[in-house]
Amino acid sequence: MTVTTIIYLVIAAIVFLSVLYNLLTKEERVVDKIACAMILVPLALRLLMIK
Amino acid sequence: MKKKGLVSTCIILAVAIFMACFAGISFYKKRHFVEDVVTEGSAVTRTEKLSKYNQYLANSFGDVDIYVLEGEEEGGSVLILGGTHANEPAGHMAAIVMLEQFKPTKGTVYVIPNICQSGLSHNDPLEGTPQYIHFTTANGDVRTFHFGSRASNPIDQWPDPDTYLHTSGDWTPRYENASKNTTQTLSGSEVRNQNRCYPGIANGTLTEKVSYAVTNMINTLKIDMVIDLHESSPEYAVNNAIVAHEKALEIAGISATINLEAEQGIKIKVEPSPVNLRGLTHRELGDYTDAFALLCEVGNPSQGRFRGYTDEALAITGKDPCYKVASEIHNGALLYVDYSSGDFPISLRVARHVATVAALIENMGFDYPDKEVIIDNVPDYQEMVDGDNLGLWLR
């Protein structure tokens, strides 16, 4: 795994945690929560390096 | 958070976790699925690892098997590459049929059916292509093979650059008229295209490492001919064709006109390898090795942009109503293959590859007797086409 890949994984992790935080604490409308969840799925797979 | 809001959040999160697990398990299984190549009863005398020719590949996803078929009599040598683009199943399957059926009596045949194993381990997003294709053999066994992506898996080399700068690394051309233009810029995702990364870089990306190993293998073993098996969209101009490096044009021309078209009725074009299109097997392996470098193309509706519903049946039968319509517009001028029959089955596509490879090998021996390779048990083109079941040619 290259340094660039690790940096991108860190960025993906930050985005994942931010979206999860929004889903759990900020979003009130159901559609916004669903949008958050749909963003989380591919981010989680990429963090686990599953493709 | 209100109780109602908490409940909906939990439900949505649970669904997301389920979707991630469902997709993740499917992707993980595909990534680690191992195809069963049957060497028992075949002419395979030994196998080698590709990392033998590039130490940086050791224990990586690109460290694939090289199947070696040695004849009793010494002669020339041929390397057959399948699976360069893993969404072109006839190239992958033709290499498997050849390694399971060919019986060389003179010379050596090297076969790598899954040269881009990383590409076979995933699918292109949003294309709706199948993950696997299946064939039933003569004894009733069902064998499963990958249907993959045109490019290497991004988890093997992520992220892609904005622009892919192709270079020839530290290689020195062996062909006196090799192109002086040794750099080229392409779209960033092409960095994962196996057929844009030759001659390769020893410690580059996974795709470049694999390319380096192939180039080094050809130079180390002094292989006389390399044939890369592909498929192309029916609307793509280079179709049902042999693309040949300048050194191999004569062999390709005679094979196409005499062995294939005149003797077997197989219409096939010969295209010269473009001098300034870098990174491709037929260009770089011709410039940077002493081998005759050739690439074979055959039409594949399952990868074309006109196609309709995409599934395993389309990949195997090549039956597509959208291509049928396209073939009837302007007398078929939109397509570069004859699609009037309404199908283009994989048995036909593989048969074309097998017949073409056999013709090219035969003509190399005719023109250069010291490089002769004689192969028995070559599947008959017409029998493969008439049988319409590729499984009959698998062990």
DSSP per position, B286-313: HHSSSSEEEEEE-B-GGGSTT--S-SHH
So what's the pLDDT on residue B365? Answer: 97
Q: Tens digits of per-residue pLDDT, B59-83?
A: 999 999 999 999 999 999 999 999 9
Count chain A–chain B contacts defined by CB atoms under 8 A.
51
Q: Tens digits of per-residue pLDDT, A8-31?
A: 999 999 999 999 999 999 998 999
Contact B329/A at CB under 8 A: no
Q: Assess whether pLDDT exceeds 70 at residue B4.
A: no
Q: Assess whether pLDDT exceeds 90 at residue B30.
A: yes
Half-sphere exposure of B10 (CA within 13 A, CB side): 7
Helix (H) or strand (E) holding B32: helix B3-32
So what's the pLDDT on residue B148? Answer: 97
Q: What's the CA gap between A13 and B13, in Å, rounded?
A: 17
Q: What's the CA gap between B388 and B56, in Å, rounded?
A: 42
Q: Contacts of residue A34 in chain B, CB cutoff 8 Å?
A: 12
Cα torsion angle, B210, B185, B90, B380, sign = negative
Q: Contacts of residue A51 in chain B, CB cutoff 8 Å?
A: 27, 31, 122, 153-155
Please indicate whether, in this complex, the C-beta atoms of A23 and B13 are within 8 angstroms of each other: yes
Please indicate whether, in this complex, the C-beta atoms of A48 and B1 are within 8 angstroms of each other: no
ipTM: 0.94
Q: Tens digits of per-residue pLDDT, B76-125?
A: 999 999 999 999 999 999 999 999 999 999 999 999 999 999 999 999 99
Selection from B4, B25, B100 nearest residue B379 by Cα: B100
Contact B158/A at CB under 8 A: yes
So what's the pLDDT on residue B182? Answer: 72
Q: Tens digits of per-residue pLDDT, B194-227?
A: 999 999 999 999 999 999 999 999 999 999 999 9
pLDDT level of residue B23 (50, 70, 90 thresholds): very high
Tokens encoding B391? 């499984």
Please indicate whether, in this complex, the C-beta atoms of B159 and A5 are within 8 angstroms of each other: yes
CB B219 within 8 A of CB B70: no
Q: What's the CA gap between B4 and B340, in Å, rounded?
A: 61
Q: Assess whether pLDDT exceeds 80 at residue B37.
A: yes
DSSP-derived letter for residue B279 is S
User: What's chain B's average pLDDT?
Assistant: 95
Q: Tens digits of per-residue pLDDT, B257-314?
A: 999 999 999 999 999 999 989 999 999 999 999 999 999 999 999 999 999 999 999 9
CB B65 within 8 A of CB B83: no
Q: Tens digits of per-residue pLDDT, B243-255?
A: 999 999 999 999 9
Q: Assess whether pLDDT exceeds 80 at residue B395.
A: yes
Cis peptide before B199 (omega within 30 of 0): yes
CB B199 within 8 A of CB B174: no
So what's the pLDDT on residue B113? Answer: 98
**How many angstroms separate the CA of residue B230 from the nearest CA in chain A?**
24
Considering only residues 33 to 72 of chain B, which have any Cβ-Cβ distance to chain A shorter than 8 Å?
none
High-pLDDT (> 90) share of chain B, %: 90
Is 0.90 topped by the overall pTM?
Answer: yes
Q: Contacts of residue A41 in chain B, CB cutoff 8 Å?
A: 16, 19-20, 23
